[in-house]
Structure formats: C-alpha cells, structure tokens
Amino acid sequence: MDKELSYGEDYKYIPATSVNSGIGVEVLPDLYCHTVQIVNISLVGKPDSSDFVLVDAGMPGSADEIIAATEKRFGAGSRPQAIVLTHGHFDHVGAIIELIEHWDTPVYAHELELPFLTGKENYPDPDPTVEGGLIAKMSPIFPNEPLNLGSRIQPLPSDGSVPHLTGFRWIHTPGHTPGHVSLFRESDRALIAGDAFITVKQDSLFKVLTQEIEISEPPRYLTTDWKAAKHSLGKLRDIQPAVAITGHGLPVSGELLTIGLDKLVNEFNQIATPDYGKYVENEHHH
C-alpha cells in the first residue's frame, strides 16, 4: 500500500447486508447504481464511453466488487476519470485506497470534508442511544477513525462544477456531515443525494434487509446537525429532482420521490428528527 495512504486504526469489514447486495440497476442510460452490502455506489457516464466517474467507494473490503462492477459496465481494464465522494463515512470510502492504487485516479470531496479524509479529524462518535433501532445499536462497531488520502484527495471546485461530470453541479448539503454534497444535473433533474436523505428506514434492520422504499432522513446514529440536515433537505426538495440515487436504499423517481421528499421536509421535526439522542438539541420537544 502507498505509505502516504492509510485507513483509520479501526477500519474493518462490517457484516451487514441487504437483498440488493451485489446488484446493479441502470437508472438512466448514463447513470448506474450498484449496491455493496448496504450502501450504493454510482457510475456516471455512457457504457460505451471511457469518460465516466465513480461516486462513493463502498464498504470496507469491497474494492474487487467495485472494480468488477465497473468493468462489467465499461469494459475490461476501464477506469473512471475521477472518484467523487458525497462524504467520508466509512461506508462511502470503504475501498477508496485500493481503488486509488488500482486506477490511479484523482478523488474529490467538499473542502469541509477534507479534515476527515486526510487524517486530521475524527467524525463524532456514532450515537447508539439515538431513537432508532438495531442499526443504531450496532453503530459503535463502525469504523470512525479518519483515513488519510494525503495529496490524492482534492477539494471540489468552488464554482460548483464537478470534474469530469459535465452537466452536473455539486450542492452543499451539510447536516449528516459538515462537507456532505449531493450531485445534480439540471437537464434531466437527476440527483445523487448521498446520505442527505435515503430511501430506506435505517432504524429497522428488517427494512434495511428488504429495502422497502421509504424516503427517510439521513442515517440517524451518524447525523450530528439536524438543523442543517433539514435545511439541506429543503434545498434538495426545491430543485425538484425527477430521479434520485441515495446512499442507502433503492433508486427512486417520480411521485414517490416528489411526495416523499415534500413530506419529509414539511414534517421534518415530527418524522425525521429523533425524539432523543445525544446530537438532538434540547429545545426539541413533542
């Protein structure tokens, strides 16, 4: 391994899965979503083109699966022009170092996410006490120490453009993490939302396993700023996405997306903000 690059000390394989694990879905002709255990990666670009980008980098230990999925779609030996990270949580950067070494490709994330990706800062500890079931209770075993991508990671351009993703712009959607971004393409209103919202209720292990669609708040045990999360969701609702790939759960489009997002924004304090948990502000009452 390149000695400049290192995972956190607590990096490890996490035994969690869903029925979609290993399955890829073509959401649009140039937008492909592949599920690694419980998290989604996106491949953006036409399958006959060598100009494509990987968004997010899966679970720990998933590099071979991601390379295989990429080669299946773009051909043997294909490599993305860039990897863009929606944020730096372990389940979105799990294979990033092996992928950098295999593809020698640049990586981009929001400036405010860089401390967590260059070994400088830990994410706050996940909150196993937050209202919300088994996954939250499991969260203390999740890797939390920062990885270090050194000079291999660069900030996204401040003009909102996304390198190698013509037509897309990044939207700052903090709350789940400080430097969380979502990617949006105006022409067909395609959205890659990361964990700004997800389409599966993560507080139910059963729903994670079966991937029943439910437009939901960001994963609770890792979300530390609910006010910002709500504001970010408002931004995403207002751009009126027609189709969305989220960090967890199935891709979603049409009314299911529009109505679900609207409801989540309008009733955020009731349905999204946890009733209790260490990152929930005291002023929040029912």
Interacting residues toward Zn ion by CB under 5 A: 89, 91, 195, 247
Q: Report the distance separating Cα 236 and Cα 146, nearest Å.
A: 28
Residue in 124, 76, 116 with CA at minimum distance from that of residue 92: 116
Residue whose CB is less far from Zn ion, 118 or 144:
144
Cα 146 to Cα 4, 104, 112, distances in angstroms: 14, 21, 14
Strands 168-172 and 153-155: unpaired
Min dist CB 145 to Zn ion, Å, is 15
Residue whose CB is less far from Zn ion, 133 or 247:
247
Q: Report the distance separating Cα 41 and Cα 94, nearest Å.
A: 11
Residue whose CB is less far from Zn ion, 118 or 139:
139
Min dist CB 49 to Zn ion, Å, is 28
Q: Report the distance separating Cα 153 and Cα 47, nearest Å.
A: 26
Q: Report the distance separating Cα 74 and Cα 231, nearest Å.
A: 37
Alpha carbon 230 to chain centroid distance?
17
Min dist CB 138 to Zn ion, Å, is 13
Min dist CB 57 to Zn ion, Å, is 11
Residue in 173, 196, 168 with CA at minimum distance from that of residue 183: 168
Min dist CB 208 to Zn ion, Å, is 11
Residue whose CB is less far from Zn ion, 74 or 226:
226
Residue whose CB is less far from Zn ion, 89 or 110:
89
Per-state percent for the chain, helix, strand, coil, to nearest 5:
30, 20, 55
Phi and psi torsions of 25, nearest 5°: -130, 130
Residue whose CB is less far from Zn ion, 164 or 236:
236
Cα 75 to Cα 79, 104, 148, distances in angstroms: 9, 17, 30
Min dist CB 87 to Zn ion, Å, is 6
Residue whose CB is less far from Zn ion, 164 or 245:
245
Min dist CB 255 to Zn ion, Å, is 25
